[in-house]
Amino acid sequence: MKEMICTQCERGCLLRADSDLYEISVSGNECPRGREYALGEYASPVRTAVFNVRVRGGTAPVVAARTARPVAVNKILPLSRLLAKLEVAAPVREGQTLFAALLGESLTAVSSVGRKEI
Ligand code: SF4
């Protein structure tokens, strides 16, 4: 059995998902959206992930970047480890694609970082 809080509305129902050989059962949901959410979380949980990316020559040392789409939870740690070894060059504009296919994911800057004047 897996328990989770439904994030589809402010009510935050406590959902329980369990499976036998034939089907996944969901309880605790107050509406059908909760069931769909629980089935997705049970089968393959995903999150929109936000990371800090180092900036070379910038007015700030890092810029926040998020994945363009929700990614599998088990992909977040490998992405984080890979990003720890990478950097981007300043300037960075908000909304700029920093990496187009990092482990198959696109990362976009959440804010801007200017170039440091020397
Ligand atoms: S199950 Fe329905 S009512 Fe409950 S939190 Fe999810 S969306 Fe909201």
Q: How far, in Å, is the centroid of ligand 1 from the Cα of 14?
A: 9
* Strand locations in the chain (E): 2-5, 14-19, 24-27, 46-47, 50-56, 62-67, 71-72, 87-89, 97-102, 105-109
Same domain, 79 and 104: yes
Range of the domain at 38: 2-43
Structure tokens at 107: 């990362």
Which residue CA neighbors atom 8 of ligand 1 most closely?
9
14 ligand 1 Cβ < 6 A? no
User: Are 32 and 55 part of one and the same domain?
Assistant: no
pLDDT of residue 43: 87
| Predicted pLDDT at 13 | 97
CATH (domain of 54): 3.10.530.10
| Separation of CA 5 and ligand 1 centre (Å) | 9
Q: Is there a domain that residue 75 lies in?
A: yes
Tell whether 104 is covered by a domain. yes
**Number of domains observed in the structure of the chain:** 2
71 lies in the same domain as 24: no
Q: What is the pLDDT of residue 117?
A: 87
Verify whether ligand 1 is closer than 6 Å to residue 9 (CB atom): yes
**Two tokens, residue 43:** 């089968």
CA angle centred on 13, ends 18 and 34, rounded to 5°: 60
pTM of the predicted protein model: 0.76
In a domain, 114, yes or no: no
* 96 CA → ligand 1 middle, Å: 34
Average pLDDT along the chain, 118 residues, taken 10 residues at a time = 94 95 94 95 91 97 95 94 97 97 95 92
